[in-house]
Structure 1
Amino acid sequence: MSSEKNLARKIVKWEEILVRRIKRFVCFLLAVVWLIGTLTSAYSQQASSQKFVYIKPQFENVMFWENGWISYLQGGKWGIMNSFGQVLLKPQFDKIEPVVYDGRAIMGIEDKLYKDIFVVWQNGRAGFVDSNLKILAKPELDSFEVLNPWLSLYVCKKDGKYGFLNLDKKVYITPQFDKMYFVVVLSYNLNGKYFNPHIKCTLPNENNKEFCLYALDLKDGT
């Protein structure tokens, strides 16, 4: 009889243990479900707070630029829109390119990219526009060539006249000059031979030391 009572007590004890374990497991499952629900809700709120822009397929080509612009090709012409899909410039250009100086492997000159100035082409002629949509030079230039990578100058040519664009300061001088020269400064030597035109002079803060300034003729911007 006592053995039957002991067996009954053991069964009751195991039942109690089993019930406790079941309760713990259920609590664990409820905690997991709550956590997943919380994370899902937070992600949904975060995703819904973000602005997504969808533009239906309609362009022949698109290019994405570092300044946030998207240039798009439509009807054989390129235009510009912002990252929200708003048109900034309607399709009108044959080509849009970044301004890049291709550094030569001499004297440590490296490639240089001007992120906020673009070359725009129209009817075979070039112009410049900046990130603020300011037209620095209308697409009417016959050619342009870098003058000096340290000065960030482009020599521009139109109808046989020369002008230039300062890429850093975004200053444009329309082509109007018959010739342009690059001024070189050297210490003056009585026996030296100098190019024409040149001039002997003194410079400030140089203790009246004499220098020779002479000009190198720029031929087609090179």
Structure 2
Amino acid sequence: MSAKRILYVEDNPDIGGWVKEELEQRGYEVQWLLNGDDIEAVAQAGDCDLVILDIMLPGLDGFTIGQRLKKAMPTLPTLLLTARTAIHDKLQGLKFADDYVTKPFHAEELVARIEVLLRRNGARRTETIKLGQHILVDLDGRTVMNADTREEIALTGKELQILECFLRHPNQILTQEQIWEQVWGEKYVVGDKALSVHIRHLREKLERDPNQPELIQTLRGLGYRVKV
């Protein structure tokens, strides 16, 4: 099996060199960039499997770079690796990124999170599911389409993972803890608003009326359910 290819953007030479060395020792191919000015062209030309982004970069910041990259390549997993720990930074990052790791961090934790993202992104199923009367989900191609307009709906990697979680448990009530553990692969922290933010964004993209959701239902005190 060929090595997984990681595109890594970090302007700090000490951190960048250390991360590159740690990942290469574990069998990954790493292309390290000091800024993200040409990242879209590099990602597409290099056929990379995952992107790791710092936020505080010279020129365009990681938020801007990540949003542009996700729009151009919506199924490419993106991991933010940053010293910014504020909750509003995390929530802003998770609007498009699939994971958010803060510095300082242990190499083993970073590798574990990378493997989770690659494993999820590599999962394929040949099945198309219709939600309501207007949403078509192609699980094999990892695409979502509006059947009325025939236009593809761009979801972030994390939004797609949450939707897939619901579709693995159709018509079942899932608690926040269950969704979090299946999508993030770790124990849910009470009070973390990241999941509710992703659910809101999903509704804005999928529901005909996000204020009166029919596809992703909230059962107060219990959790969420998607009816198929």
TM-score, L = length of structure 1: 0.26
TM-score, L = length of structure 2: 0.25
RCO comparison, higher one (Cα < 8 Å, 6+): 2
- Indicate the structure with greater helix content: 2
- Indicate the structure with greater strand content: 1
